[in-house]
Amino acid sequence: MRWKNWPYWLKGGTITTLFPIIVFILNFLIDSIVGTSGETFLFFFLIIATPALPIFNVFFKPSIPYNVTYIIFFVATLVIYFIIGSIMGWIIAKRKSKK
């Protein structure tokens, strides 16, 4: 199935999911190059991950190791952004179908 045949909700979810992935990769690369422990890109990371913070606070347990919480936070951010993009794509599809 090609991109032009995808439903709008799937296109929207895919596009918005790419945004936090790019930010996470940039965060990792900048921290690796500069040699900091995450302070360099933290501001942008928090802006991107803000929709996932309420979910993360509900499920966060202090006994979970840091690496696992980072993975959970990353996955929660992707799911939230996919849902947001899917809703936006669905709205766009509804508006186009009315015309």
The pLDDT tens digits of the residues spanning 15-64 come to 999 988 887 787 777 777 777 665 555 666 666 666 766 666 666 666 66
pTM for this structure? 0.73
Q: Provide the residue range defining the domain that includes 37.
A: 7-98
Q: What does the chain come to in residues?
A: 99
Domain count across the chain: 1
Cα 70 from Cα 10, distance rounded (Å): 26
Question: CA 2 → CA 10, 17, 60, 82, 90, distances in Å?
Answer: 12, 18, 39, 19, 18
Cα 89 from Cα 11, distance rounded (Å): 7
1 in a structural domain: no
Tokens of 7: 């439903």
27 in a structural domain: yes
2 in a structural domain: no
